[in-house]
Amino acid sequence: MTTVIKNASQLLTLTGKNLGIVENGSVIINDGKISTIIQNSKFKIQNSKTIDAHNCVVMPGFIDCHTHLVFAGTRENEFSMRLEGKTYKQILKSGGGILQTVRATRQASERELFKLAQSRLDQLIKWGTTTVEIKSGYGLDTANELKILRVIKKLQKANQNRITIISTFMAAHAVPPDITKPNYIKKIIKEMIPKVAHAKLAQFCDVFCENFVFNATDSKKILLTAKKFGLIPKLHADEIESSGGAEIAGQVKAISAEHLLYPSDKGLKAMKKNNVIAVLLPGTTMFLKSKQIPPIDKMRKLGLTIALGSDYNPGTCMIYQMPIIIALGCLLYNLSLTEAIRGATINSAKALGLDKNIGTIQKGKDADLIILDVPDFRHIPYQFGKNLVKTVIKKGKVVYSVPAK
């Protein structure tokens, strides 16, 4: 089966170090994979299906390498508390925050969680996301963490031709109220990790590494165990305070360290030395009204690879729209538009270990592509909040197109 996408005003291939723009380009897709990129649109291929881009931008689908998309309940109360001056840490310490979502998620059945998450995924697809990572972490006991991971597995199966879903085990998200921290860590290490690995319910293991949650020593212990069981480490590092998370990311050779508002210089160097991807989440910075931003200049100087994710979750970021995250990367974090678009595509693929298959428009990669209803990519941040996605193509097949006017 051959499909041809023609008449792209700009084809953002993302090959090389920049956006790799091909003007008036075409893409030939064979059996769901990209086979050829052509610098014009005046050709014919027998027995092929044509998708006319009508002089619009064609680019790789967005890759969101960081979400907490399976949850029940909402936290608008916490949003108002923050407007009144309460901090994230105060809210969590008083039994709210993550623990509020844990209560609602524990009460929800697998079916309910599936339905809630499925409708969120449908929205993500409409906004051009073709691959998404989802973390557990609102169960915080063996039964409920496994329940969330099973929901993710069902979502994977139900959506396999629409959106790729990657699963991350994150029981180390907070300490639940009914157990001490040392005992909870023991439970994660002795009981949960082996079960998750045995049932192949996750590919990655993440930890909320903060002095007031799981400190650097706790995080290292959990991640090294996860690694022994074949789960690849990731960390929420130095988000709220400087807690040694970036250093640990280097020491355990994590694939990525995320947030990074307060990493130490030593930590950043350790990340560079061990090829740890820096995943930045500007939506959360905005939601938490943080004045701090990651040390972008230092990251650039060191040559760290910068990826962007949404961090979609009910507490600290209800934004799942990757074009908005790209805009916030530019406006809040001072990223260039090239850095932000690379961050939401090829570099986000790297943070999930998927860069061989997705993230650029290149021969042999999956034809996960989107068509935007604009002639120039600079509209992405400029038309802030407007959904410019016209067509979403997953492995060569159209999975969403804007209904005709």
State the Cα–Cα distance between residues 296 and 273, nearest whole angstrom. 17
Segment interacting with ligand NIG, rule: CB under 6 A, options 37-45, 96-104, 185-193, 335-343: 96-104
Contact call for residue 234 and ligand NIG (CB under 6 A):
no
State the minimum distance, in angstroms, from the CB of residue 67 to Fe ion.
8
Q: Which does 320 bind (CB under 5 to 8 A by kind): Fe ion, ligand NIG, none?
A: none
Asked if 206 is part of the footprint of Fe ion (rule: CB under 5 A), the reply reads: no
CB of 218 closer than 8 Å to CB of 187 = no
Residue 31 contacts residue 78 (beta carbons within 8 Å): no
Asked whether position 164 contacts ligand NIG by CB under 6 A, the answer is: no
Cβ 181 to ligand NIG shortest distance, Å? 16
Q: Which residue is nearest to Fe ion (CB)?
A: 311
Nearer to Fe ion, 25 or 139 (CB): 139
- Cβ neighbours, 10 Å, residue 54: 13
120 binds ligand NIG (CB under 6 A): no
Q: Work out whether 218 is an interface residue with ligand NIG (CB under 6 A).
A: no
**278 contacts 307 by C-beta, under 8 angstroms:** yes
Helix axes 98-107, 142-158, angle to 10 degrees: 70
Stretch that binds ligand NIG, among 97-105, 115-123, 188-196, 382-390 (CB under 6 A): 97-105
Site for ligand NIG in 62-81 (CB under 6 A): 68
* Residue 238 touching ligand NIG (CB under 6 A): no
Site map for Fe ion, 79-98, x if CB under 5 A?
A: --------------------
Among the listed residues 252, 262, 170, the one whose alpha carbon sits nearest the alpha carbon of residue 210: 262
Residue 78 near Fe ion by CB under 5 A: no
Print the binding letters for residues 197-216 with ligand NIG: x by CB under 6 A, - otherwise: -----------x--------
At 154, phi and psi to the nearest 5? Answer: -65, -40
Closest residue to ligand NIG: CB criterion: 315
Q: Judged by CB under 5 A, does residue 311 bind Fe ion?
A: yes
Number of residues that bind ligand NIG (CB under 6 A): 13
CB atoms within 10 A of CB 258: 28
> What DSSP letter does each residue of 111-176 carry, written as one string?
HHHHHHHHHHHHHHHHTTEEEEEEE--S--SHHHHHHHHHHHHHHHHHTTTT-EEEEEEEEETB--
Helix axes 142-158, 110-126, angle to 10 degrees: 40
Q: Is 214 helix (H, G, I), strand (E, B) or coil?
A: strand
Kindly report the number of other CB atoms within 10 A of residue 330's CB atom: 19
Please, are residues 60 and 345 in contact by the beta-carbon 8 Å criterion?
A: yes
Residue of 133, 239, 355, 368 interacting with ligand NIG (CB under 6 A): 239
Scan residues 273-312 and list those touching ligand NIG (CB under 6 A). Answer: 284, 311
d(CA 264, CA 99): 29
Using CB under 6 A, which of 98, 276, 319, 322 touches ligand NIG? 98
Binding site for Fe ion (CB under 5 A): 311
Binding site for ligand NIG (CB under 6 A): 68, 97-98, 101, 208, 236, 239, 284, 311, 313-316
